[in-house]
Structure 1
Amino acid sequence: MDGVALPRAEGRARQGTALAFLGVLAFSGSLPATVYAMQGVNPWLVAIGRAAVAGAVAVACLKVTKNRLIPPKHEWPAYALISLGVVFGFPVFSGLALAMGASTAHSAVVIALLPAATAVCAVLKAAERPRPLFWVACAAGAIAITAFTLTQHQAKATWPDLLLVGAVISAAIGYTEGGRLSRETPGWQVISRALVFSLPLTVPMATAIAIATPVNPTPQAIAGFAYVSLISMFLGFFPWYAGLAKGGIARAGQTQLTQPLLNLLWAWVLLGERFGPATVVAALAVLVCVAITQRART
């Protein structure tokens, strides 16, 4: 039986990694899209409005598929954490960091700390126990990113960096809770219900901000806002949560270490950003780390 179970478990883990990478690919355009959106929309409206729009789409999807809108009461604490983490926390913190002058490339490398934070949350909340090699590679990636950040600012953390750390912690909590619930409930339903769960806050907040702030709906701003609303906040979570459930939150979550390279590509292609060799070296260092973590089974 063990001879059959082990290949099946490994195959499931590989499927989870592949699905998680599709989610990362979707998320990798979030920072450039946020920059585009903020060219015509207030940063707070970008952060909260995207959740309100995605929530409306989630309601329609759940209605069409005849699934319940509100999760059972015993799951409300988990959905509250998902909402605080990925519906509010990450969009607000990362958006404000970009609005305060953090470049897309720099933000992408700092946010690559997210897999390490997710792994820690997985151990604390989802009873996962990765092998020692996993932790060594995970710590190496975190150290590489920390060293990169400090060398960029004369060994001092700036406000945008602190906001990005807040984004990392928020997302790690939301990812862990969502991945845990996705073991029993399809991932698309988890993110949909989290968005619906947040609608009583996101809709009135987004409406108030839209009334109080000017909006300049340029084509770039509309495109960016549409991306963060439909892809970053909604569709990207479909493969992401499914991947975390199949591959293990700690292991599959490490695929997000590839996101710095993808973000650097989009920053160069879409925004024309220039970055030095230190940025590329840091991104490559974490890419090596993710390859090692994927070899270390949970």
Structure 2
Amino acid sequence: MKASHRLLAVLVAAIWGVNFVAIEMGLRDLPPLVLTALRFVAAALPLVFLVPRPTARLRYVVAYGLVLGVLKFGALFTALAAGMSAGLASLVLQAQALMSVLLAATVLGERPTRAQVAGVLVGSVGIGVLAIDSGGHATVIGFVLTLFAAASWAVANLVMRASGETRPLSLLVWSSLVPPLPLLGLAGVVDGTHAVLDAITGLSWRGLLAVAYVAYVSTLVGFGIWNRLIARYSIARVAPFSLLVPVFGLSAAWLLLGEPVGPTELAAGATILAGLALVVRRSTADRGNAPAASEGREPEYAPAATA
């Protein structure tokens, strides 16, 4: 992976780390499924009228929207509302890195290198340490929902890679049309129709800012860059960079929400960084290999113009 693309992957990790704080702020004013629905409404409109249709088949667009929007983010936002702390959620969610690598190897036949497998395993140990010693910052239902969100994210990565999409931003924007109605329907069942309407009509400035960050910065910029990298490189090369999200997530939660960061969190963060170092380290043999055909393909995407 090019150095510039590694920097982009780190930038995405920083964006997503801060995203957990934005979600926490939004949940103070909005039910979780309503916040998730508004996220994708804002991500889709008005860009859906400005970007071309995805090149992938419709079933991939719909599948990506359902898996990423309804399953992954619906579960994650609900987990945070159910007592999962922002910092811990940013750690547990990165179990998707190991899941993504395993799914890509099983379903797509993408064979990770030994260094990539070792790095993901080491990083997963760091996440496991936090899972075992959460310090009271998580409920059982919150932890389970976050793991479910991680598995859904891994499937979304697989859908993105399998779609063959050459316009990752188009896929992201058009698939954002899929989640709002199912999410609002679920919110009506869980929270009641009146609660949903009151939350939307009484949206505060804090709620608006939270929606703006999770929609435009986290979704369009973050996932726009992420999907570009997934389309260009193998999942095994890209997914492990998400292991950096907890480092930024814990730091942001500590600075902005006052969530404590103790020795366990610091040790887990160091372990995660060590795992990422294994993933991005290129062996001598790897340097000598020519890039695969899929890695030479540059999809249509212009993050600066769209963001």
| 1:55-95 per-position Cα deviation (integer Å, ceiling 9, x unaligned) | 22331332xxxx23x766xx233223312221111211111
Q: What corresponds to 2:27 in structure 1?
A: 38
SS class of match (2:50): helix
Q: Describe the shift of the 1:201–1:57 C-alpha distance in structure 2 as closer, same or farther (beyond 3 A).
A: farther
TM-score by length of 1: 0.83
SS class of match (2:46): helix
SS class of match (1:96): helix
| 1:145-189 per-position Cα deviation (integer Å, ceiling 9, x unaligned) | 1232112369x98111100001101111112222443x5412111
**Matches of residues 117-156 of structure 1 in structure 2 within 5 Å?**
117-152=99-134
Once residues 143 and 98 of structure 2 are traced to their aligned partners in structure 1, the CA distance between those partners, rounded to angstroms, is 17
Q: What corresponds to 1:7 in structure 2?
A: none
Gaps of 5+ in 1: 1-9
Structure 1 position 222 matched with structure 2 position 204 = no
Once residues 204 and 130 of structure 1 are traced to their aligned partners in structure 2, the CA distance between those partners, rounded to angstroms, is 40
Contact 1:16 1:246 in 2 (8 A): no
Once residues 233 and 7 of structure 2 are traced to their aligned partners in structure 1, the CA distance between those partners, rounded to angstroms, is 9
Q: What corresponds to 1:28 in structure 2?
A: 17
SS class of match (1:102): coil
Q: What corresponds to 1:185 in structure 2?
A: 166
Gaps of 5+ in 2: 287-291, 293-307
| 1:75-116 per-position Cα deviation (integer Å, ceiling 9, x unaligned) | 233223312221111211111111111111111111121211
| 1:220-251 per-position Cα deviation (integer Å, ceiling 9, x unaligned) | 22211221122223232211111122232211
Structure 1 position 114 matched with structure 2 position 103 = no
Once residues 66 and 6 of structure 2 are traced to their aligned partners in structure 1, the CA distance between those partners, rounded to angstroms, is 25
Identity of aligned residues (%): 20
Which of 253, 270, 275 is 1:284 aligned to?
270
Once residues 253 and 5 of structure 2 are traced to their aligned partners in structure 1, the CA distance between those partners, rounded to angstroms, is 28
Contact 2:65 2:176 in 1 (8 A): yes
Once residues 134 and 277 of structure 1 are traced to their aligned partners in structure 2, the CA distance between those partners, rounded to angstroms, is 27
Q: What corresponds to 2:303 in structure 1?
A: none
Structural RMSD (CA): 2.7
Task: Give the paired residue count.
Answer: 278
**Matches of residues 63-212 of structure 1 in structure 2 within 5 Å?**
67-68=52-53, 75-152=57-134, 158-181=140-163, 184-198=165-179, 201=182, 212=194
SS class of match (2:84): coil
TM-score by length of 2: 0.80
